[in-house]
């Protein structure tokens, strides 16, 4: 299906491109994060925007104040560590201001933090990065105060906004492990930023032994289990952890029951799929497994829980909180996330004739039809 809107922007300072794809509108708005990485492409952004449409549709729950939006995604072709990154972000946001004010609600994604996006939005004269959603609210001021209060909540020194997504991925993984009958599971997590770090924390606290953690610099392994809490305290703002590391590309070679790619897209292709030793892959990153690689994994009996299910909690938590379906409270957030993720993961794994991704696509289509 043709996207509602595609924008290609060229930065007049660096000459580098940026992109916005609004795949579809729901209630007049498309929702999806803004990522920054060197080499990001329009095709990648369009693929992610389609995934956001499915992720939003899966979140449909009759009776809630929050009803799903459409899907969108933004991308800036720049290394986040580049000295030009901040300036390029501000210029991109300024260029996209008319769309951010009316059609596109965004937030942090790969390479960007929410506070950086908000700073750029304020500099452009926008109230927030989700201005497009505010007309849907009965009382925007109260709703924004509730969301701000939720972002101010910390649990063991980590912000609730950074924990929500990982809680969802972990609960999805735990549900899948239960359905597969895997006891005393082991896991490898690729990426140790906000999503990967939080996922590892919730898995470890649920009794999963984390035997491998990969960051941008390399791979830490310990068959007896890594000290996840110690690594969280020691990581830098980019999710890098200290220690004697193996080459980072060896993360697929570690024996484990559960593999959680939580960093970059398309990191498991047809060349990498035969190396996967896990029985279960749960996608914390956006589209980490290519369609061709998933066919290889499925033929080997490896179950893949897709990103549109597994990593949907961050997006849903934002909207549940903003629309007042849950309070600005960690216990309420985790309870809602856990019950939601367990129900949806169970549903997409219940038909032995369908892969979880196929079942998720069917669920999103049914939900879209139910909203019309």
pLDDT profile of the chain (372 residues), mean per 10: 95 98 96 96 96 93 94 97 97 98 95 94 98 97 96 92 95 98 97 94 98 95 96 89 91 97 93 96 95 96 96 93 97 97 96 93 88 68
The CA distance from 322 to 16, in Å, is 34
Please state whether beta strands 17-22 and 5-10 pair in parallel, antiparallel, or not at all (unpaired): antiparallel
Residue 26 DSSP one-character state = B
Do 342 and 225 belong together in one domain?
yes
Q: How many domains does the chain have?
A: 2
Same domain, 216 and 352: yes
336 has catalytic annotation: no
Residue 63 class from Cβ within 10 Å (0-12 exposed, 13-18 middle, 19+ buried)? Answer: exposed
Any residues with CB less than 8 A from the CB of 185 and at least 6 apart, and which? 177, 208, 209, 256, 257, 258
Clarify whether residues 205 and 117 are in a common domain. Answer: no
Q: How far apart are CA 345 and CA 179, in angstroms?
A: 10
Structural domain of 254: 159-371
Contact 224, 153 (CB under 8 A): no
The pair of three-digit structure tokens given for residue 353, joined into one six-digit string: 């004739």
The predicted structure's pLDDT at residue 372: 64
Of 253, 192, 195, the C-alpha closest to 227 is 192
132 and 215, same domain (yes or no) = no
Query: Residue 80: which CATH number?
Result: 3.40.50.10860
172: Cβ–Cβ under 8 A, 6 or more apart, which residues?
Answer: 282, 305, 309, 310, 341, 342, 344, 345
Quick one: 214 and 318 in the same domain? yes
β-strand 70-76 against 158-159: which pairing, if any?
unpaired
Give the 3-state secondary structure of 247-290. CHHHHHHCCCCEEEECCCCCCECCCCHHHCCCCEEECCCCCCEC
CA 73 to each of CA 3, 25, 59, 243, 323: distance values in angstroms, whole numbers, following the listed order: 11, 12, 17, 35, 22
Among 289, 332, 97, CA closest to 190: 289
The DSSP bridge pattern shows strands 209-214 and 219-221 to be: antiparallel
State whether 333 and 191 are in the same domain. yes
Residue 147 lies in a domain: no
| pLDDT at position 154 | 95
Question: Which of 172, 167, 146 lies closest to 155 in space, CA to CA?
Answer: 167
Are residue 168 and residue 130 in the same domain, yes or no?
Answer: no
Question: Is there a single domain that holds both residue 173 and residue 267?
Answer: yes
For residue 365, the domain's CATH number is: 3.40.50.720
C-beta neighbour count of 332 within 10 angstroms: 15
User: Is residue 227 in some structural domain?
Assistant: yes
Task: State whether 178 and 128 are in the same domain.
Answer: no
Catalytic residue among 73, 97, 245, 336: 73
């Amino acid at each position: 299906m043709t996207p509602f809107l595609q924008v290609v922007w060229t930065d007049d300072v660096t000459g580098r491109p940026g992109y916005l794809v609004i795949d579809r509108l729901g209630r007049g708005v498309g929702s999806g994060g803004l990522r920054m990485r060197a080499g990001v492409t329009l095709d990648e952004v369009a693929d992610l925007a389609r995934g956001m449409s499915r992720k939003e549709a899966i979140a449909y729950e009759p009776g809630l104040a929050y009803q799903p939006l459409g899907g969108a995604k933004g991308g800036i072709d720049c290394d986040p560590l580049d000295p030009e990154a901040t300036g390029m972000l501000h210029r991109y946001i300024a260029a996209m201001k008319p769309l951010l004010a009316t059609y596109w609600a965004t937030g942090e994604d790969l390479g960007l933090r929410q506070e950086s996006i908000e700073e750029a939005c304020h500099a452009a004269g926008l109230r927030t990065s989700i201005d497009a959603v505010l007309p849907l609210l009965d009382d925007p001021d109260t709703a924004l105060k509730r969301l701000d209060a939720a972002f101010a909540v910390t649990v063991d020194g980590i912000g609730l906004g950074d924990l929500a997504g990982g809680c969802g991925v972990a609960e999805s993984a735990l549900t899948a492990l239960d359905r597969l009958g895997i006891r005393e599971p082991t896991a490898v997590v690729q990426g140790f930023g906000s999503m990967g770090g939080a996922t590892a924390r919730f898995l470890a606290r649920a009794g999963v032994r984390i035997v491998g953690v990969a960051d941008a610099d390399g791979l830490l392994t310990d068959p007896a289990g890594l000290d996840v809490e110690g690594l969280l305290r020691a990581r830098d703002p980019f999710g890098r952890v200290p220690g004697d590391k193996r080459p980072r590309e060896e993360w697929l070679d570690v024996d484990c029951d559960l593999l959680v790619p939580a960093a970059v897209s398309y990191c498991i292709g047809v060349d990498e799929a035969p190396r996967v030793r896990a029985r279960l892959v749960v996608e914390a990153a956006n589209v980490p497994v290519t369609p061709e690689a998933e066919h290889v994994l499925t033929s080997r009996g490896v179950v893949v829980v897709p990103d549109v299910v597994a990593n949907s909690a961050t997006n849903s938590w934002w909207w549940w909180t903003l629309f007042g379906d849950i309070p600005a409270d960690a216990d309420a957030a985790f309870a809602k996330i856990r019950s939601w993720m367990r129900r949806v993961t169970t549903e997409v794994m219940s038909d032995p004739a369908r892969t979880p991704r196929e079942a998720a696509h069917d669920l999103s289509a049914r939900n879209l039809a139910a909203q019309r």
